Each structure stands twice: as structure tokens, then as C-alpha cells.
Amino acid sequence: MDEALLRSLTPGVLGILVRRGADFAAAEDAVQDALLEAVRVWPSGQPRDPKGWLVTVAWRRFLDAARSDTARRRREDLADEEPEPGPVSGTDDTLWLYFLCAHPSLTPSSAVALTLRAVGGLSTRQIARAYLVPEATMAQRISRAKRTVGGARFEKPGDVGTVLRVLYLVFNEGYSGDVDLAAEAIRLTRQLGAAVDHPEVAGLLALMLLHHARRPARTAPDGSLVPLAEQDRGRWDTGAIAEGVAILQAALARDRLGEFQAQAAVAALHADAPTAQETDWVQIVEWYDELARLTDSPVVRLNRAVAVGEADGPRAGLAALATVDPGLPRRTAAEAYLRERDGDPRTAARLYAEAAREASSLAERDHLTRQAARLNTRPGA
């Protein structure tokens, strides 16, 4: 029984049902029924056209449910008027479902939950565990999201950028519960890439692969953060790096630069360096300049200041940092690092301690506290 195949077929099947006029929630129930049926029946002989099989079974289930519910009379009429299941363009329906789940009327967290449920085919329990909330709460979040987009109809495709932002949110959640959300985000982005021809989809996929490749080296066995410069590069996944770089190069060759491609270019330059000292910081600064032009985001200016500090020395980095809003998260940590490199350990220690108090994650706070302690306890401090 090929679970990966079933999960990759789910969004297309669901998309077809919804397009034929099925209410979103009822369509999802019907698709779940069809998947269960497939798990039961396929081991003794997989159909030649698995997707067509799923569409037919799901559509029948949907009609049965609609018929058995007299209160849903109107929906039944609607369903009966629709043509019988036949060949449909698969990629369009998958794509359409991505747009629906990332609909602008949804809050980011609802869009994320709905995407994982409807496009990713994860169970509500799995999503609840990944986000550390009760299953009942997640069930409500998803059913509210379904109601919100229930009446949405698209005349034309939605905004790919909206879908990509949702997938990037999923990716950033990383790993908790029994689902690796980063790996799931990569899978969904690959699937999206098969349905839509857009260089930013490739850019995001490359970015995810390049970050994912370095993940094993990012944390020590005790869970503490290992900064990029100190990571054991032998633990990076060279296969994923090579794939990410190849995807990025193909995307850049199309000359339609976007935010994700530029970010992936920075990640690729880090991944390419055999040692931290050999990092091409000059080129990284240039990519941050491109990013700043594309987004003008304060986070980009902060990262650029750190890169300038590496390329042109800590004084130049501090000058670049002066234009970054003092309230921005991680700005204090960046300043502490630059002050230390500029030969001012006392100020650096004070700033590291301050940055630790501002940190939003435990691993980051512990890391910054250790930095402050290192400077405060060394001989002559």
C-alpha cells in the first residue's frame, strides 16, 4: 500500500470534487472515505488509474451522503446535474486547491492548518500534535477555515506568492510531534512545482532544500544551537545541497528574480563554502542588496549588516546596523557579535545578556546567555 501515492493524489481528487460543486467539508469527508476504501481494497490489486478510481469512489460517497440527507436537498439537485466523473486535468485541480487553502480571507494559522489537512492529507490529530494544541481546538480551526473558504469561487488562479508564504510558514515550524513539518513543506512545494510554472516556486523549494540540508548540524546532541560558523560541515546533506543549487540555478536563468530565489542564493553561498572562513561574504552582501530592493524589510537590513560586518569588518557592519530599528528582534544579538569582533568585550557581554532576555526561543536564549557568560568569566574580564 503506497501511502505516499495516496497522499499525493489527495489534493487533486479533493479539488475535482469541489470544482464539481461539492461543499468543501462534504467533499473532504467523501475523499477521506475513498482513501480508507483504497487502503482496504488496493492491497489485493491496485487499479490501473488510481486517481480516477479515487475520484469515482469519492464522488459516489459524496452523492450518497447528499442523498441520505434530505436537509441537503438542494445540494443533491446540484450534484445530479453535474456530469459523471471522467478524465480531468489533474494539475489544475491540485493547484486550485492550493489557492483555496491559502485564500486571503484566512488568517495565516488557518491557512497553514487547512493546507496541511486538505493538500497534505495529514490527520487533524497529527496537525494538532505538531502545533501543540488540543485536537478539538485544531478541529475547530480547520472547520472554521473550511467554512470561510466554503463559498469561495475563483474566476482565475490566485496569487502564487500567498501560497508560497503559507508553505514557508509550515517549513519554519520544523519538527514537533510525529510529523516533520519541514519535510512536509518540501513535499508540498515539490508538488506545487509540478502544477505551476513559476520561478519563485523553484526559489522557495531551493531555499527549503538548502536550509534542510544543514539541519542535522544546527543542533548539538543536547539540543543547543550550533552557530553556522561552528557547524560540522561534514554533517550537511550534500545531496540536498546539490539539488537545491541546481534548482536555484535553473530558476535564476529565467531572469525573473524574486525574494525566495534571492534568499536561496544566500543559502547556496553558505552551503558552497568548504569552511566558514571561505564564505563569499562579498557576494552575500550583493544578494542582500537585491533582497532589500525587492522587499525593503528590516530583517533583510539586519542580515545585510551582519554580512557587511563579515565582508568589510565590524566597523562597517556597525555602521550598517545603525539604520536598523532598535526594537527589531535579534538586532541586539547582532550588535553584540559585531562589538566583540571590534574588540569591545565588555559592551558585547552586556548586549549578549540583553539579547538573551529578548530572545523568543529557549535554545536561542540559552545560546546568548552562554555567549555573555563566556565574555564575563574569561580571564581579565
Partner 1 sequence: MAKYLLLKHYRGAPAAADDVPMDRWTPEEISAHVQYMRDFADRLQETGEFVDGQALAPEGTWVRYDGEGRPPVTDGPFAETKDLIAGWMVIDTDTYERAVELAGELSAAPGAGGRPIHEWLELRPFLAEPPTVTE
Are 10 and 119 in contact, with CB atoms under 8 Å apart?
Answer: yes
Query: Half-sphere exposure of residue 123, counting CA atoms within 13 Å on the CB side?
Result: 9
Whichever of 9 and 138 has its CB closer to partner 1, that residue is: 138
What DSSP designation does 255 have?
Answer: T
CA-closest candidate to residue 210, choices 125, 281, 268: 268
Measured from the CB atom, the residue of 34 and 149 that comes closer to partner 1 is 149
Q: Is the dihedral of CA 189, 195, 200, 202 positive or negative?
A: positive
Of the pair 53, 260, the CB lying nearest partner 1 is at 260
- Which of residues 154 and 175 has its CB atom nearest to partner 1 in the complex? 175
CA distance 217 to 215: 5
**CA–CA separation, 80 vs 298, rounded Å?**
54
CB of 331 to partner 1, least distance (A): 14
Closest separation in Å from C-beta 40 to partner 1: 32
Instruction: Name the residue among 298, 273, 270 with its Cα closest to residue 284.
Output: 270
**DSSP assignment, residue 175?**
E
Output 180 or 344, the one with its CB closest to partner 1: 180
- Find, among 360, 368, 361, the residue nearest to 336 by Cα: 368
**Contact criterion met (CB below 8 Å) for 248 and 257:** no
- Give the DSSP H or E segment for 292: helix 281-295
Cα(224)–Cα(201) distance, rounded to whole angstroms? 32
Nearer to partner 1, 25 or 39 (CB): 25
Nearer to partner 1, 91 or 231 (CB): 231
> Shortest distance, CB of residue 365 to partner 1, whole angstroms?
7
How far, in Å, CA of 249 to CA of 187, rounded? 20
Instruction: Select 88 or 225, whichever has its Cβ closest to partner 1.
Output: 225
As measured in angstroms, the least distance from the Cβ of 63 to partner 1 is: 30
Query: DSSP per residue over 295-344, as a string?
Result: H--HHHHHHHHHHHHHHH-HHHHHHHHTTS-TTSTTHHHHHHHHHHHTT-
Which of 211, 212, 218 has the alpha carbon at shortest distance from 232?
218
Supply the minimum distance, in Å, between the C-beta of residue 146 and partner 1: 12
Residue ranges in contact with partner 1 by CB under 8 A: 107-110, 113, 131-134, 136-138, 140-142, 144, 171-174, 176, 182, 211-212, 215, 218, 225, 228, 267, 270, 359-365
